[in-house]
């Protein structure tokens, strides 16, 4: 029987997981949980590749993964059968057959994240798993102005963790926007790829600008320094959600992952 490749859109709450990557016996991971469910549907071992590995406590609205299988299952059977075997904090949103040269990781031309901050004097009781809390008043407009210095292809050495295993720190940050809606300050960012803790380190630095601890032009100086030791704290994982990766329309994925042809 021939082997077919499928792409999945996966939604998850990362609160109780040690992150995406399979870690053996260290504790629950999203990859292992998904692969166990897929293997149950296939009645054979299944391995997955994802668009972007998320850290412990980070969520995803539409993580994209691909896998290969020779099991005779329809996309609907993969979607519903796998979801029925997953815990309630994970679900398969869609399943699409793809050509064997598609890679969830290497075919993606961009990835989008959103970080949400509850900015008020009292910590949140509702939705706290999806928000971080900052009691000091944040100036979202100042944060947005400061963030524009990060646009373009840059060396983001000042915003990578000490555990980052990437070969280099150059990334192309394509969009970054800081907005406020009531008590919620949101940072939405798109790049071709991200370094380990890059978004959380950017948010930590921008928060220092937002509360007046650093001037707007400090972000540009920090970027130029390439020195992580000069940056702000790493923002908590709970406020971060991986929104989706973006692929060229030719792959035939749903609209949320395929907004149109490459520019």
Tens digits of residue pLDDT in 32-63: 999 999 999 999 999 999 999 999 999 999 99
Name the one residue in this structure whose structure tokens are 């790493």.
234
Residues carrying CATH 3.30.70.660, the chain: 110-242
Residues 183-199 have pLDDT tens digits of 999 999 999 999 989 99
- Give the phi and the psi of residue 158 in degrees, each rounded to 5: -75, -10
Mean pLDDT of 147-166: 87
Domain 4-107 listed as CATH 3.30.70.580: yes
pLDDT at 260: 53
Look up tokens 């149950």; give the residue. Answer: 40
* pLDDT on residue 262: 42
Q: What's the pLDDT score for residue 79?
A: 97
Measured in Å, how far apart are the chain's first and last C-alpha atoms? 39
> Average pLDDT, stretch 133-148?
96
Domain 110-242, CATH: 3.30.70.660
Where in the sequence of the chain do the CATH 3.30.70.580 domains occur?
4-107
CB-CB neighbours of 167 under 10 Å: 6
CB atoms within 10 A of CB 194: 24
Which is the catalytic residue, given 55, 100, 183, 227? 55
Q: Given this model, what pLDDT does residue 163 score?
A: 74
- Tell me whether residue 55 is one of the annotated catalytic residues: yes
Sign of the torsion angle spanned by Cα atoms 238, 233, 153, 20: negative
């Amino acid at each position: 029987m021939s082997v077919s490749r499928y792409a999945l859109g996966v939604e998850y709450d990362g609160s109780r997981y040690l992150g995406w990557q399979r870690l053996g016996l260290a504790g629950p991971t999203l990859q292992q949980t998904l692969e166990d469910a897929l293997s149950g549907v296939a009645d054979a071992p299944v391995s997955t590749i994802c668009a972007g590995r998320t850290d412990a406590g980070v969520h995803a609205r539409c993580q994209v993964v691909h896998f290969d299988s020779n099991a005779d299952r329809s996309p609907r059977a993969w979607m519903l059968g796998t979801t029925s075997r997953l815990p309630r904090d994970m679900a398969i949103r869609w399943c699409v057959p793809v050509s064997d040269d598609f890679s969830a990781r290497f075919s993606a031309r961009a990835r989008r994240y959103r970080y949400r901050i509850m900015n008020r004097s009292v910590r949140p009781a509702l939705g706290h798993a999806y928000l971080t809390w900052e009691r000091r008043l944040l100036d979202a407009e100042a944060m947005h102005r400061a963030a524009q210095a990060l646009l373009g292809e840059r060396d983001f050495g000042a915003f990578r963790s000490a555990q980052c295993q990437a070969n280099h720190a150059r990334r192309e940050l394509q969009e970054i926007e800081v907005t406020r809606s009531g008590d919620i300050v949101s940072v939405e960012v798109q790049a071709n790829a991200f370094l380990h803790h890059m978004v959380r380190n950017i948010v930590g630095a921008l928060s220092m600008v937002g509360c007046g601890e650093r001037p707007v032009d400090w972000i540009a100086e920090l970027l130029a320094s390439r020195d992580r030791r000069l940056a702000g704290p790493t923002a908590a994982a709970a406020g971060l959600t991986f929104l989706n990766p973006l692929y060229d329309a030719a792959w035939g994925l749903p609209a949320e992952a395929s907004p149109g042809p490459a520019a």
